[in-house]
Structure 1
Amino acid sequence: MDRTTGGAPTRPPQGVAGAVLLLGVLLAGAAPLIPLAVLVYRHEPELLPLFAVPLAVLVAAWRIARDRARDQLTDPLTDLPNRHALLLAAQEAIAEHGDDQDWNVGLILLDLDRFRSLNDALGHTAGDRLLVHIARRLHRALRSGTHNPGRDDPDDVFSSLPPPVQQSLRPVVARMGGDEFAVLLPGVGRPDTLERVARALIAELAAPIRLDGLLLVLEASAGVCVYPAHAQDAEALLRRADVAMAHAQRRRTGVEQYDETRDLDTPYRIGLLGDLRRALETSEVQLHYQPKVAFDGRVVGLEALLRWERPGQGRVPPDEFIGLAESSGLMPRLTDYVLETAVGQLAIWRAQGLEVQVAVNVSPRDVLNPGFADRVAAHLTRHHVPAAALQLEITERLLLDDSRLAADTLAELRRYGVGMSLDDFGTGHSSLVRLRSLPVGELKIDRSFVSRMVADDHDAAVVRCSVELAHSLGLTVVAEGVEDDETWEKLHSMGVDAVQGWLVSAALPADQATAWLMVHRTGAPAVELLAPPPALPPVAAPTTPQ
């Protein structure tokens, strides 16, 4: 070798071996190691045979590490990026424009509705094939819209997305796990644009799919979230998109934007939830009672309404902390607290000669909770209160749940003699078939119709039709939100049976409600029973409400 010039060897005894070694390294996919092999070949060619075996081991280790790193970022079923890869992509998209105040990153989280039932019915193999097909649809929809510059369809929402200027900032379609997918859109910051894209993707997924001779139509729910409007980092972006998606599933609206007021994990709501737990332990949450009266002045019952004065914070709106309890899993405990307090107050009033009926609101989640009827019966038995003195108000949301458990629970409560009322009628999605099958004895017309019926003929027509429908089904009708004499008279002329609202009385604390009842002392009408009520199940010993 000419060591003065550092050139190629003057004799090529290892030339063939060196060329073969370099070609092997190249074919092995270890191109970054070629400079090392060239360096050995140029300066110490006699070492090439000794270098070959360690190099082969190094190449194999390098390929294993490369494949392992790729597998850690790839979903094995769909070959899409996985959750970790999406998180890294979001972090990169945010970091590369960290100094740009106008830079946005949008995220859409999609979840297939009722996929678990479909998977159980068709089998997991068919379910996996379906997920692969969905992944391809999502990828194709975004690629055809954002990467086709010749596409100029004003009705195509994908064509309105900004073109990616860097490979690293292209839209990313990922599988988060199970039947959940995500779409990361760097540069897209308008929530309404994201919502349109999400609805377009849901429409793409809804196109019929033929699988094993079956024609399937899929539905999905989506949550959208934007950096920095909704989240300040990539992890918060993913979590809050998940909050929005869960809300879309609960409300069955298809797509929802992130809303901080529905997020349990904001500092305010975390503190509120902790305070609510403590308030239930210390009886800080109170019940106020609003009377319901007939047009002849008879008191037909009272509705128990929750009130909470948070120390140092003032009164918390009931919708806020009740919604928090329902979404956090605290609802069964809150319902038991209300039932125990209301039934206990009924026992006090009965001891004073005030035989009235008290209505308690329960959520669909309460009714669907196994053992709910027995819990209600336990409260009544513990305080020696007859079942007819208690009425449970359910909402139209329960009509959307075609659940045998819900129907059985309500029927069991009705057999005990507990009254049933359908609350907020007209604001949900009532099914007349299900309404007829529910064991309710009372229908309450929502205040949103009652309060406008004097000035709005359409609302007056809704009230009139509701009264006629209820009476045709043998139900008693109560109108909520009555606040003036004109509304009172109009409801009376329509045949409404009873009213509730500020014109009669505001919701009163227990002591003031007692004084009001003493002035308006009267017996409540008997609750119509579908069958003679059986004896309530005995309670072995008093227990503390959970």
Structure 2
Amino acid sequence: MTLQQVTAVLVLFSAGLLLYSLMPTNDIIREQSVREHKTGWQILLILVCLFVLGYLIFAWILFSHHVNYLFSLLSIILFGGAVFVTVVTRMSLYSIRNIQRIAALERHNATHDMLTDLPNRAMLYERINQSIKDAKRNHSVMAILLMDLNQFKEVNDTLGHHCGDGLLQQVAPRINEVLRESDTLARLGGDEFSVILPSTNLEGAKVSAKKIISAMERHFVVEGHSLQIGISVGIAMYPEDASNSDNLLRKADVAMYVAKRYSTGFSVYDSEQDQHTLNRLMIIGKLHDAIINNELLLHYQPILDTRTFKLWGFEALIRWNQPILGLLKPSEFVPIAEQSEVIKEMSCWVVSNAIRKFRHWHAKDQSLRLSVNLSVKDIQDEGFVDWLKGQFDVLGVNPKCMNIEITESSMMTDSKRAMDTIQKLHQIGITFSIDDFGTGFSSLSYLKQLPSQSIKIDRSFVRDMLTDDNDAVIVRSTIDLAHNMGKTVIAEGVESQEVLDILEILGCDFIQGYYICSPLPDNQVEQWMAQERIPINLAREKKSG
């Protein structure tokens, strides 16, 4: 081929490349949703078309006239430009589609549960609100089901968290099997699920609830384990029970609580059916006011050294003198407080007031220790360490006199942050006890990681040692395990001389319980300290020894 022909063909090939770049450019324009972005690519499309026309005219000139090396150089430059435009448009289309894919994935993750891929709480609220709008427009009704697995905690405690996750992944499709395509199943968190039943009356909601309960009766197989769990379902109706998403879910939760409490499978919301549920709702609303109105108070339960039966220290236990419900124990309101941010405020109140009272007793006996309980949110609060240091400085108390009790569950969520907080507190001299040991599902894994000095055996094991051989084995094994790891053991729930005798034989280091002394108001602590503290039978044995 002559130089003229080669140059002309190169220009025509360049024009072909530009034509090829029109396809991705057109795809970009079609897929752009923002008008300003689309306008820029439309201009580029017009320019590329003009360039193609110009390339064709230049090729015709090359075929019609004599070509020198200057024309050849120009054709090479034009070819480079065509290659550049083609590469840019193709890569731009790839990048835009990749960004769109990532954005779609992020939107999906923001509205779906990572474990089960079901809609999460955010999407649930969105779809409830849409269903309410549709019901208003069509003058129809709808139902909300709130569901909770009955034996899920036992699965976690026995088989571990990974088995619990595997179970939840099987529960979701099992429930979806009995629902209509128009229904929405969502996971709220933990073992709690919700279902939206659009255009469904109360009888239809009951039928759906029964189908779900029946579906859950079949065994699940998780990692070779055959599991059978139940489910409790609460039903709330729009517009009869509530007219917005928050109240519908809250009232479905009330109904579910009743179903779980009475083991009825499902329950329809009725504001008069359960006074305990109303009390629970009252507690949620009044917790913050309790701190402001000085309704909280502290009792202190002595902890004794089992070898010498001398006073080791006190555990600070919170009480709530609720004007309507009376004196409430921690188990009646602390778990509810832990579901909201008020637990942080409550914990600060407990720690501050306990240290303030304890410093007077510590001044008389420098060996005394103060034991307080912290929640999951306290351990994960990055500002808690500095706040606690400030309390010790202001009140003039040595941090080494404090022992903090933490449960195994406090390490389950964001364990790295919790571990960092614990390490910082440990560095200033605070000791740690693992509370309610044996009731969680990761006891051993965290036992070796935590800088804990002691293990506290849950009262449920200690209390039933005399009548349940399994509990006795658990207590003995826990004491042996702790001692082998260089840790001491505290047994709570000591309520008889017989239990105390067994704990002595097993080598338990510290004891507390009603047999030693019930929790005391602060104005009775010094009087108790001044008197004989050892129970009569125990004192007699010590003297005879």
TM-score normalised over the length of structure 1: 0.56
Kept in 1: contact 2:144–2:249 (CA 8 A): no
Out of 287, 291, 313, which is 1:280 matched to? 291
- Name the counterpart of 2:415: 403
User: Per-residue deviation at 1:276?
Assistant: 3.3
- Give 3-state SS (helix, strand or coil) of 1:339's partner: helix
* Local SS of the residue matching 2:455: strand
Residues 106 and 312 from structure 1, CA distance in 2 versus in 1: closer, same or farther, beyond 3 angstroms? closer
Partner of 2:234: 225
Give yes or no for the alignment of 1:83 onto 2:112: no
The 8 Å contact of residues 300 and 520 in structure 2, kept in 1 or not, is answered as: yes
Q: CA deviation at 1:288?
A: 0.6
Cα pair distance change 1:420/1:198, threshold 3 Å: farther
Question: 151, 160, 179: which one pairs with 1:142?
Answer: 179
| Of 210, 216, 236, the match for 1:193 | 210
Q: Rate the CA distance shift 1:359–1:455 in 2: closer, same or farther, 3 A.
A: same
1:494-530: CA deviation from partner (whole Å, max 9, x where unpaired): 11111100110000011211111233699xxxxxxxx
How far apart in 2 are the matches of 1:136 and 1:470?
43
Offset of 1:324 from its aligned partner?
Answer: 2.8
**Partner deviation per Cα, 1:423-460 (whole Å, 9 max, x = no partner):** 11111213412211011111111111111101111110
| 1:147 match | none
Partner of 1:497 in structure 2?
A: 509
Q: Could you tell me how far 1:356 is from its partner in structure 2?
A: 1.0
Specify the alignment match of 2:22 in structure 1.
Answer: none
**CA deviation after TM superposition for structure 1 residue 275, in Å:** 4.0
Distance in 1 (alpha carbons) for counterparts of 2:437 and 2:410:
12
> Which string of whole-angstrom CA distances, capped at 9 and with x for unpartnered residues, describes residues 348-371 of structure 1?
223344641110011111101121
Query: Measured at CA, do residues 200 and 90 of structure 1 come closer, stay the same or move farther in structure 2, by a change above 3 Å?
Result: farther
Confirm or deny: 8 A CA contact 1:230 1:258 kept in the other structure.
Answer: no
State which drifts further: 83-92 or 350-359: 83-92
The letter for the 2-side match of 1:225 is: G
- 2:303 is equivalent to residue 292 of structure 1: yes
Question: Larger relative contact order (C-alpha < 8 A, sep ≥ 6)?
Answer: 1
Question: What is the rounded CA distance, in whole Å, between the counterparts of 1:318 and 1:281 in structure 2?
Answer: 18
Residue 448 of structure 1 pairs with residue 460 of structure 2: yes
Question: Following superposition of structure 1 onto structure 2, how do residues 18-417 of structure 1 map, counting pairs within 5 Å?
Answer: 82-87=127-132, 107=145, 142-143=179-180, 172-174=182-184, 182-184=195-197, 186=201, 187=203, 188-189=205-206, 193=210, 196=213, 224-227=233-236, 232-233=241-242, 235=244, 238-240=248-250, 243=253, 268-269=279-280, 271-273=282-284, 275-295=286-306, 296-353=308-365, 355-401=367-413, 403-417=415-429
Task: Give the aligned length.
Answer: 364
Deviation at 1:228?
A: 6.5
The answer to whether the 8 A contact 2:144-2:236 is kept is yes
Preserved CA contact (<8 Å) 1:301 1:356? yes
Shift of 1:382: 1.2
Pairwise CA distance, 1:181: 7.4
TM-score, structure 2 normalization: 0.57
Contact in 2 for aligned 1:91/1:233 (Cα 8 Å): no
Letter in 1 for 2:131: L
Q: Distance in 2 between matches of 1:231 and 1:356?
A: 59
Judge conservation of contact 1:470–1:476 (CA < 8 Å) in 2: yes
| Residues 395 and 176 (structure 1), Cα distance of their counterparts in 2 relative to 1, 3 Å cut | closer
**Counterpart of 1:344 in 2: which secondary structure?**
helix
1:461 corresponds to 2:461? no
Deviation at 1:194, TM superposition (A): 6.0
Distance 2:446 2:533 in 1: 37
Q: Could you tell me how far apart the structure 1 residues matched to 2:474 and 2:138 are? A: 52
Indicate conservation of the 8 Å contact 2:426/2:451, yes or no.
yes
SS at match of 2:179: helix
1:509 to 2:503 alignment: no
Q: Which runs of 5 or more structure 2 residues have no equivalent in the other structure?
A: 1-110, 112-118, 149-171, 223-230, 258-264, 535-545
Q: Structure 2 vs 1, CA of residues 432 and 230 (structure 1 numbering), >3 Å: closer, same or farther? A: farther
Structure showing the higher helix proportion among its residues: 2
Give, in angstroms, the shift of residue 105 of structure 1.
Answer: 5.1
Whole-Å separation in 2 of the counterparts to 1:383 and 1:177:
46
2:495 corresponds to? 483
Query: Which deviates more, 502-511 or 279-288?
Result: 279-288
1:115 match: none
Report the Cα distance in structure 2 between the residues aligned to 1:92 and 1:491, rounded to whole angstroms.
68
Cα distance in 1 between the residues matched to 2:255 and 2:215: 11
- After superposition, the Cα gap between the structure-2 partners of 1:94 and 1:436, relative to the gap in structure 1 and judged at 3 Å, is farther
User: What is the identity, as a one-letter code, of the residue corresponding to 2:495?
Assistant: E
For the residues of structure 2 that align with 1:94 and 1:356, how far apart are their CA atoms? 69
Unaligned stretches of 5+ in structure 1? Answer: 1-74, 97-103, 111-134, 144-170, 207-221, 248-254, 523-546
State the AA in 2 paired with 1:142: L
